[in-house]
Amino acid sequence: MITLSESSVLQLSTIISSPCRGQSFITLNVCGMVDFSSSAPLKFKIRQLEAFRAVAETGSMTKAANQLGISQPAVSRLVSDFSNTVGFEVFKRRRGILEPTSDSRYLLAEVRRLIDSLEHLEDLRRDLTERTVGHLRIACLPGFATSHLPSVLVSFLKDRPRVTVSLEPDRPERILEWIIGEQYDCGLTDGFSGHPATISQDVDIKSVCILPRGHPLEKKDYVTPSDLAKERLIHARRDSWFFKELARGFSTNNVEINSFVEVRQFTTACTMVKDGVGASVVSALDAEAFRETGIVIKPYRPAIFHRLSIIQPASGPSSPVVLDFIDTFIESLQPFTANSTAIS
């Protein structure tokens, strides 16, 4: 049942022609009322429409009253008022059952659609005001599933005990497939170049050089390609945008990359450096997750950025909870963005 006051007026959109009333039209407006425009506009209360539908579905004033949670005389009055407004009898009794008249059957389908639409609006209103109910489906890169994202989710869900989450890590190609197919509400990915079936927001994350504990370069204010000339470098895949930017910086400085290990995830590079193997240039976001392990984190120049993309189906967010999560996630990235000085 719609929890609106009896004086509220509707504005929905539907016009029905009743053949039994010649050129009369019924315009259902949302404001708790409905306009009948044959001569002067007439108005219906939502309760009248609910009573009309309930009696049509149950065949009884008493059963309709039980369904609506009001008294039987109240239902009778609402139906009578509705009948007087439309100008014809809306029910006839046959073998003890109230059935819609031929005229009112034309109204019934439209009244049902109107009430269903109002109930949907009420659900949306509740979601918008409470924002504490819903299911959030997130697809992400594997590195996100084990670092940064869990703590963001813990904070996000703290005040939303009725929100549930599905989290699925996979490669960028699969994430895009899922978002296009609307199997997930949002995808956290990189290397995204756009797709007409999606909408996206990009965040540029600064990059840093990571070194094993006690490395001689630890004393430098920042690390350059020349400093890494003799280091065994753990780096991103050669076909990635990030590696191409890294290689461009080395080439500009007339330094050849001493390639040691090629990895898909920055977290893999961080783990290897933590264990004392090689050096790497990675996203500051991933490096921060390993700070307490003792790795050395230094600014890297020339600056390059790791572009993260938050993608959604082109149809838009499925609920306000999705929007709130995306806002929360982007805010959590601010200390690591290109314009931030939190990690230098």
- The model's pLDDT over 41-66, given as tens digits with 9 standing for 90+, comes to 557 788 999 999 999 999 999 999 99
Residue 263 in contact with residue 236, Cβ under 8 Å? yes
pLDDT at residue 316, rounded to an integer: 78
Task: Tell which CATH classification among 1.10.287.130, 3.60.15.10, 1.10.10.10, 1.20.58.1880 matches the domain 15-129.
Answer: 1.10.10.10
CATH 1.10.10.10 domain residues, the chain: 15-129
pLDDT at residue 36, rounded to an integer: 44
A 10 A CB-CB count for 3 gives 10
End-to-end CA distance of the chain: 57
Per the model's pLDDT, the better-predicted residue between 92 and 9 turns out to be 92
pLDDT bracket for residue 326 (50, 70, 90): very high
DSSP codes, 201-257: EEEEEEEEEEE-TT-GGGGSSSB-TTTTTTS-EEEE-TTSHHHHHHHHHHHHTT---
CATH 3.40.190.10 domain residues, the chain: 134-203+307-336, 205-306
DSSP codes, 47-89: HHHHHHHHHHHHS-HHHHHHHHTS-HHHHHHHHHHHHHHHTS-
Tell me the per-residue pLDDT of 263-285, one tens digit each, with 9 for 90 and over. 999 999 999 999 999 999 999 99
Q: Is the pLDDT of residue 26 over 60?
A: no
pLDDT bracket for residue 12 (50, 70, 90): very low
pLDDT bracket for residue 103 (50, 70, 90): confident
- CATH fold for the domain made of 205-306: D-Maltodextrin-Binding Protein; domain 2 (3.40.190)
pLDDT at residue 19, rounded to an integer: 37
CATH hierarchy code of domain 134-203+307-336: 3.40.190.10
pLDDT at residue 172, rounded to an integer: 92
Residue 25 in contact with residue 38, Cβ under 8 Å? yes
